[in-house]
Chains A and B, each alone.
Chain A
Amino acid sequence: MTEWESNPTDTDAEVREATVEELEAEVRRYKAEAEEHWQQFLHAAADLENYKKQAARAREDAVGRTRRALLTVILSVVDNIERAVAYGGQSEDAAPIVEGIRMTHRQVLDLLANMGVRPFEAAGKPFDTRYHEAVEVVPPAGEHVAGQVVAEIQRGYLLGDEVLRPARVRVAREQS
């Protein structure tokens, strides 16, 4: 019986110890788990933030690209109006219709200017790939020096400070 009396206390202590150990292990496990979840949450939150920024930027890019594409399409029509005016001006009987086309041309340039689109001069400038696209090379003649833009074949336009469309140009050949 004495054994019975002494033993329970031992066992109690053992049980308590075991329990404490178990509990400690559990706490550690939960802590680790909590930390892992916290990290996952932080990642998810960061992903969302980054995604928001990215999405905003992608939207801006898309809008910019669409606008440039649309304006470029309009420019191709402007080119043709310009050609019509050029031919119309040559003929003797520059009828009122030519004047009408000329006015239409001015109108569309004004509208484009309101949107920040303006043409830039290329003829006579030194060839610069930022603004010019060489379409034809000719031997230098007259006042033109090598590497200089001799003539503008298709007008270039800026949108704000950026090149919307480079000018297509004829360039005086460089001496090689």
Chain B
Amino acid sequence: MARVVGIDLGTTNSVIATMVGGEPQVIPNAEGSRLTPSVVGFSKTGERLVGQMAKRQAVLNPENTVYSIKRFMGRRTGEVEAERKIVPYKVEEGSNGMAVVRIPASGKTFTPEEISAMILQKLKTDAEAYLGEKVAEAVITVPAYFNDAQRTATKNAGEIAGLKVLRIINEPTASALAYGLDKKGAETVLVFDLGGGTFDVTILEIGEGVFEVKATSGDTHLGGDDWDERIVNWLADEFRKAQGIDLRKDRQALQRLREASERAKVELSTVVQTTINLPFITADATGPKHLDYVLTRAKFEELTADLAERCIGPVKQALSDSKLSEKDLNEVILVGGATRMPMIQELVRRLTGKEPNKEVHPDEVVAIGAAIQGGVLAGEVRDVVLLDVTPLSLGLETLGGVLTTLVPRNTTIPTRKSEVFTTAQDGQTQVEVHVLQGERPMARDNRTLGRFMLDGIPAATRGVPQIEVTFDIDANGILNVNAKDRATSREQSIKITGTSTLSKNEVQKMVKEAEQFADEDRRKRDAAEVRNRGDSVVYQTERMLREAGEKVSADERQRVEEALKELREALNTEDSERINRATDAVQQASYKLAEEMYKATAGAPTGGPGASGTPDGEAKGDGEAKRDGEDVVDAEYRRTDG
């Protein structure tokens, strides 16, 4: 099946996206960029350049470089007198009075459809190269105010580019689709689209998946570029005041000013002040001159306040045209890179009384919506098997009352995870598996789902037995927990059906609690870990002393035993710091001990208990969950056999 794409054919930039594995995704062009400038250039040799390449030669070849062609799509020359005067290329009257572009380099005229088709063709070709498959069908977006002639022209452009145009949809509709508002039951939506050079406001009514445009308004010559220009002028004015040189007259300096201004604008969306630093911007008889200014967000907003003001009228107009007040709006969507500016977001909040949707990349949201529509039309969004997720983490209690998570929350089910645990005491023949659900690190703060015993484990040194615990959740959320002693193959399991019976509120409450108590919980968990380490060091050192026998001097033995005594006492308190100190002291002492033993036995290794983990065992089934010897988790398997 050939692929369906969604295309945002913009005035300044175009974007192409498609559905991949059920998710919309923007496809980068051959230059690796997700935005392709909507610019077409014709060289003297008849070569055609599209996108970034065309932009690079625009200065050199202005009369053969076409940008903003969207403004001429499906228009008669009489309708675009003002636009004609702005662009450096020649717009003439073609057949039926339609506007066409004269390209001296190729000695002929092109219709706006043909120029647009060249942009579409590049998007198509690059997408095919990226995806490795043919792109045959497309959904293309147009502004909501486009009339029939303009829509037909857009559709024709698609066909000229070799695309079957499945549908022409409105840009605001695409944005609403990208936010899934058609499924959300939202009724009245305001789409605020401030792009590079155009501003559109649309009010949509959504019902039963049908989108109706209630009103549109805007400003065809207002966009992010105007904000940049203000910074450029401010910098140039300040510099002239200080140095008496007008940087706007120096193309090279102006270029640097423009770039720095755009960067400053972008930065001021996240920080409240930025430094514009352009060393060696120019020079005079006295030597090189540097430009170095601080621009605060407040100053920037003051410089551009009138531009923001210009956004107010169209919003009010659209509301009054649709006979609505801001209270009737259910959702507000921000589209276009310029809506990242805090001043614009604040303005929209003030005008609509709503927190706008802005999570989807504002430059890409239209193409993403078009891709979603394309996916629906192509049947890509087939009856997918609806997969559930675990609402909360699932795990078991291990040494020190700590919750060890096996299946983290939001894991898609069905799933299966297993992990190898071991005993905490010498000679322990029984372990208790305490199955828990929740996000808190200490077992007792979570919800008990069930518990069971696995007995008949051959008595062994702690850390040696390998007990494989498997959590298996089926598609219905039924959890099967199995514990198996690898040595004897004895196993025990429990089936728990209540893992997803929690209401949404309960789940939210538990997740919130986990966040709320995060600090305290971390301290508790750290304390448990400190205790576990101390406990383990006591055990190892005692064993070492036993094995050492006569190999250590009485002095050394006494030193170690004293340290051990202190550690045992420390372990009886709640003082983590003391336990830590005492643990370190014992470890230091035991290193000495080990050294002496080595000297005595000339190299026979002692092999601590921790190292005896899982020599050959590998958890069967889920390979991911298998753990190496070092990672064996000491489970709090309480000693119940006396």
- Residues on A lying within 8 angstroms of B by beta carbon are 40, 43-44, 47, 50-51, 54, 58, 61, 64-65, 68, 80, 83-84, 86-87, 91, 127, 129-130, 132-137, 147, 153, 166, 168, 171, 173-174, 176
Contact = CB atoms under 8 A, between A and B. Distances in A.
Nearest to B387: A44
B292 to A, nearest CB: 12
Contacts of A147: 44
Contact of B32 (A54, A61, A91, A173): A61
A171 B20 CA distance: 44
Given A87-B288, A136-B252, A80 B280 contact: yes
Contacts of B252: 135-136, 153, 168
Nearest to A77: B279
Nearest to A54: B20
Given A87-B287, A134-B56, A176-B63, 17 more contacts: A40-B385, A47-B21, A61-B32, A64-B32, A83-B288, A87-B280, A87-B283, A91-B287, A127-B60, A134-B58, A135-B59, A135-B251, A135-B255, A136-B252, A153-B255, A173-B60, A174-B44
A54 B55 CA distance: 31
Nearest to B251: A136
Contacts of B44: 147, 174
B94 interface: no
Interface of B: 20-22, 25, 28, 32, 41, 44, 49, 53-61, 63, 104, 251-252, 255, 279-280, 283, 287-288, 382, 385
Nearest to B53: A129
B59 A44 contact: no
A171 B56 CA distance: 12
B34 to A, nearest CB: 9
A73 to B, nearest CB: 10
Contacts of B61: 134, 174
Contacts of B382: 43
A173 B61 CA distance: 9
A54 B131 CA distance: 10
A173 B59 CA distance: 10
A64 B28 CA distance: 12
A168 B56 CA distance: 9
A144 B71 CA distance: 38
B60 A50 contact: no
A133 B28 CA distance: 21
Given A47-B21, A54-B20, A54-B21, A83 B54 contact: no
Contacts of A173: 60
Nearest to B130: A57
Given A54-B20, A80-B279, A87-B283, A136 B59 contact: yes
B385 A44 contact: yes
Contacts of A47: 21-22
B56 A61 contact: no
Contacts of B25: 54, 58
Nearest to B385: A40
Nearest to A65: B32
16 contacts: A40-B385, A50-B20, A50-B21, A54-B21, A61-B32, A65-B32, A80-B280, A83-B288, A84-B279, A84-B280, A129-B54, A136-B251, A136-B252, A137-B60, A153-B255, A174-B61
B251 A127 contact: no
A122 to B, nearest CB: 12
A135 B60 CA distance: 8
Which A-B residue pairs are the 7 nearest by beta carbons?
A83-B280, A134-B60, A133-B56, A129-B53, A51-B21, A134-B59, A87-B288
B243 to A, nearest CB: 16
B12 to A, nearest CB: 18
Contacts of B55: 133
Contacts of A86: 280
Query: Which one of A84, A134, A153 has the highest number of Cβ atoms from chain B below 10 Å of its Cβ?
Result: A134
